[in-house]
């Protein structure tokens, strides 16, 4: 499966879009359907109570990013002149109206879940989230004392009604806008604003003393409301309402081809804080004169208004206080030891003997750190090449690479500067690596480097031997505990040799690369997938069994959707597990009746991609970093790697089958829970995956509690 010789595969395709020719669901509405599945987890009584609160925080955080990026982009398009908009494939205005309507519906349900389900159940567990109206006299006194000592020094209120200067609201920051009613009726009302100092305070919550076994918590907002009369003395009444502004966070650098990319990224990050407003969330109880006075002072229109609730930035509930009360959280699932690697004194020596497949978060990420740390200290190791897309804030991975560079290894780190919302962290670690002497490549023009690969070269008996790591997930210790991913440790020369070609391209830009084993975007990944699908179609037309089973995060690419429709029409049975966006419409007679689509949202974020093709009884199995989206297939460097080892193939299929059989957390395309034909068979994929890995560890002699 070689790249075409007469074209540059790294240049975006200019072919006509198939969006209007291929029946499909809107990408934006499909994403909102995914986020609704997150909200379903918050509604699910089977989920422990404080985990349900966590899902509300995830829902809110997701929606914030969606407005900052996707909706902000659509608003920019909608503000283009009419003649310019007519040149677009779609007028963004009708879809924008649909988005706002669906978001409003979900926000209403969100508020209902919080008020009528979560809060009453918290009270049943003796946890009370109270506001200033629910305080006892003693609690009010304690809250007022806390306000005076701790919060008041952090506040900087502005009476903006008396100041014609424009107001600047920080991105994703909660403010209280305050209505000040004078004692004298002939005097006009005054309006003020103040920032909720969540970051300076260190938390959005204040725990009050326990009273007779009952726990009490107040939001910082409400503690401030208790103290407002002292903050604004001399007024008859003081009322406060919360607002939050989201700003456009799209960096507009996808197609950047020249110049100092680092400087451009840093400049764009500064602009992000001052980007144009994409949404102003407000409390529906806010008096209209107060709200419109604020709009005038911040210079936006009612088009950006979105009804919220009394509280905003629900993502702050990630930091809700912890309580030692049984049953409020998921049962612990500590990452498990690998049956062989846990005993191996050397990662490199173990890899010489066999390949290893790891499944995070069920198994330890520690082996990745051991692999890199051992390579950093091994005198026989000459070089380490690695792609870094999102690294942890206190990255042990980056520290191991720094140590390797300081030890004289040739370290080549491809650091992706366009990893949205992780740019600053990547710039920081990239700079640290450079100072240590590593060869740091800050991204590739036109492309995002999204592959998760690493290659260690070691001199052994006068020959260079390569040790490889390929994964669906990032080199990130933190996300390895909450994302489900798969990773391969191998010395298979069929794979390591072609990984060298990928790094050659990343280092010197040489597009004259061919691949027989790896599927690499933008070289042969799309062509390779299409060839595999066509082969299944040929088998089906010949009356032979033909099938595709694929698990991914998103399916949006029109060409892939079109080919899957054609495969369905040819008789290929297609089972898809798509966590997020899925623009394909399954089960349509004459079009997609042989395609089923399900989605799993559960305790861990499903992140691993696995593609299986029947291939006439000799299955071809690939694990990949890529989803089937236009950007992954055309504008990113991605790697899908085959699983050749028979034992690991069986293990991969076993993990995939567990998820395909899930009937506890799987939803159909209409977000209804999927129910198995056999109601007596209960399969909860993530719990079963952990049980399976635990069983393997136990059989290897590791006591696991």
Length of the chain equals 705
Which H helix or E strand runs over 650? helix 646-660
Q: Which one is catalytic: 297, 312, 338, 450?
A: 450
Which H helix or E strand runs over 445? none
Could you tell me which of 691, 668, 508 has the C-alpha nearest to residue 598? 668
CA–CA distance, 354 with 332 (Å, rounded to integer): 31
Report DSSP state, residue 542: T
Cβ-contact 477, 526 below 8 angstroms: no
Both tokens assigned to 211 = 């009273």
Question: At a CB cut-off of 8 Å and minimum separation 6, what does 668 contact?
Answer: 597, 598, 674
Q: Which residue has the tokens 């699908």?
A: 533
Residue 300 C-alpha from the chain's centroid: 29
Instruction: List alpha helices for 14-135, DSSP H.
Output: 27-43, 49-66, 72-78, 82-85, 92-113, 119-124
Cα–Cα–Cα angle for 375, 378, 383, nearest 5°? 55
List residues bridging with 206 in a β-sheet. 218
SS3 content of the chain, % helix, strand, coil (to 5): 40, 25, 35
Instruction: List alpha helices for 443-524, DSSP H.
Output: 493-508
CA–CA distance, 705 with 702 (Å, rounded to integer): 10
Alpha-carbon distances of 552 from 449, 472, 529, rounded to whole Å: 18, 10, 14
Cis preceding-peptide flag for 335 (omega within 30 of 0): no
Question: What backbone torsions phi and psi does residue 22 show, to the nearest 5 degrees?
Answer: -115, 120
Cis preceding-peptide flag for 441 (omega within 30 of 0): no
> How many CB atoms lie under 10 A from the CB of residue 270?
8
Pairing outcome for strands 547-552 and 636-642: unpaired
Cβ-contact 523, 586 below 8 angstroms: no
Question: What backbone torsions phi and psi does residue 145 show, to the nearest 5 degrees?
Answer: -65, -40
Alpha-carbon distances of 426 from 62, 220, 261, 572, rounded to whole Å: 21, 32, 13, 43
Both tokens assigned to 391 = 């690294």
Pairing outcome for strands 452-460 and 448-449: unpaired
Report DSSP state, residue 70: I
Report DSSP state, residue 5: T
Whether 292 is catalytic? no
Both tokens assigned to 569 = 């029409």
Could you tell me which of 317, 416, 318, 305 has the C-alpha nearest to residue 71? 305
Report DSSP state, residue 69: I
Cβ-contact 443, 449 below 8 angstroms: yes
User: Among all residues, which ones are annotated catalytic?
Assistant: 450
């Amino acid at each position: 499966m070689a790249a075409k010789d007469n074209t540059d595969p790294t240049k975006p395709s200019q072919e006509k879009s198939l969006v209007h020719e291929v029946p499909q669901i809107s990408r934006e509405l499909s994403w909102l359907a995914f986020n609704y599945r997150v909200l379903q987890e918050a509604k699910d009584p089977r989920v422990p109570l404080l985990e349900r609160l966590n899902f509300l925080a995830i829902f809110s955080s997701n929606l914030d990013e969606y407005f900052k990026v996707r909706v902000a982009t659509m608003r920019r398009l909608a503000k283009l002149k009419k003649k310019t908009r007519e040149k677009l494939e779609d007028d963004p205005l009708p879809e924008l109206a649909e988005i706002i309507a669906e978001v409003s519906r979900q926000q209403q349900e969100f508020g209902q879940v919080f008020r009528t389900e979560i809060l009453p159940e918290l009270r049943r567990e003796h946890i009370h989230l109270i506001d200033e109206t629910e305080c006892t006299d003693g609690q009010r006194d304690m809250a007022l004392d806390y306000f005076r000592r701790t919060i008041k020094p952090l506040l900087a209120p502005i009476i903006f009604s008396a100041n014609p200067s424009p107001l600047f609201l920080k991105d994703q920051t909660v403010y209280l806008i305050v209505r000040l009613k004078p004692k004298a009726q002939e005097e006009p009302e005054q309006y003020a604003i103040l920032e909720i100092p969540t970051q300076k305070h260190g938390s959005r919550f204040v725990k009050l003393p326990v009273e007779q076994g009952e726990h009490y918590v107040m939001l910082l907002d409400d503690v401030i409301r208790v103290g407002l009369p002292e903050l604004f003395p001399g007024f008859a009444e003081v009322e406060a309402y919360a607002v939050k502004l989201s700003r456009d966070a799209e960096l507009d650098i996808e197609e950047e081809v020249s110049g100092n990319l680092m400087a451009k990224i840093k400049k764009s990050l500064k602009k992000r804080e001052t980007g144009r407003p994409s949404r102003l969330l407000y409390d529906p109880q806010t008096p209209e004169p107060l709200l419109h006075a604020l709009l005038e002072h911040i210079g936006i229109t009612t088009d950006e208004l979105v009804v919220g609730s009394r509280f905003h930035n629900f993502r702050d509930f990630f930091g809700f206080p912890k309580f030692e009360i049984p049953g409020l959280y998921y049962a612990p699932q500590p990452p498990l030891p690998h049956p062989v690697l846990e005993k191996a004194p050397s990662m490199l020596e173990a890899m010489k003997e066999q390949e290893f497949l790891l499944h995070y978060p069920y198994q330890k990420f520690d082996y990745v750190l051991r692999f890199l740390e051992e390579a950093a200290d091994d005198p026989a190791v000459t070089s380490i090449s690695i792609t870094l897309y999102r690294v942890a804030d206190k990255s042990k991975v980056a520290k191991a690479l720094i140590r390797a560079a300081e030890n004289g290894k040739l370290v080549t780190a491809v650091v992706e500067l366009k990893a949205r919302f992780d740019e600053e962290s990547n710039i920081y670690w990239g700079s640290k690596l450079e100072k240590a002497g590593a060869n740091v490549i800050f991204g590739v023009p036109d492309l995002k480097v999204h592959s998760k690969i690493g290659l260690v070269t070691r001199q052994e008996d006068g020959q260079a031997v390569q040790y490889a790591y390929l994964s669906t997930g990032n080199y990130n210790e933190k996300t390895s505990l909450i994302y489900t991913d798969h990773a391969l440790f191998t010395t298979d020369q069929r794979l390591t040799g072609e990984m060298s070609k990928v790094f050659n391209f990343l280092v010197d830009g040489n597009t004259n690369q061919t691949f027989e084993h790896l599927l690499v975007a933008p070289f042969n990944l799309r062509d390779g997938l299409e060839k595999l699908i066509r082969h299944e179609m040929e088998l089906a037309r010949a009356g032979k069994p033909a099938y595709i089973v694929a698990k991914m995060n998103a399916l949006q690419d029109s060409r892939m959707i079109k080919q899957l429709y054609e495969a369905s029409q040819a008789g290929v049975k297609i089972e898809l597990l798509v966590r997020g966006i899925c623009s394909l419409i399954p089960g349509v007679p004459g079009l997609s009746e042989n395609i089923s689509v399900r989605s799993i949202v559960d305790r861990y974020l499903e992140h691993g991609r696995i593609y299986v093709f029947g291939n006439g009884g000799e299955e071809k199995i690939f694990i990949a970093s890529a989803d089937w989206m236009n950007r992954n297939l055309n504008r990113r460097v991605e790697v899908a790697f085959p699983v050749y080892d028979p034992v690991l193939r069986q293990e991969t299929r076993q993990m995939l089958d567990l998820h395909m059989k899930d009937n506890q957390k799987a939803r159909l395309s209409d977000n209804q829970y999927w129910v198995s034909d056999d109601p007596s068979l209960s399969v909860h994929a993530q719990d079963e995956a952990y049980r399976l890995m635990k069983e393997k560890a136990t059989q290897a002699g590791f006591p696991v509690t």
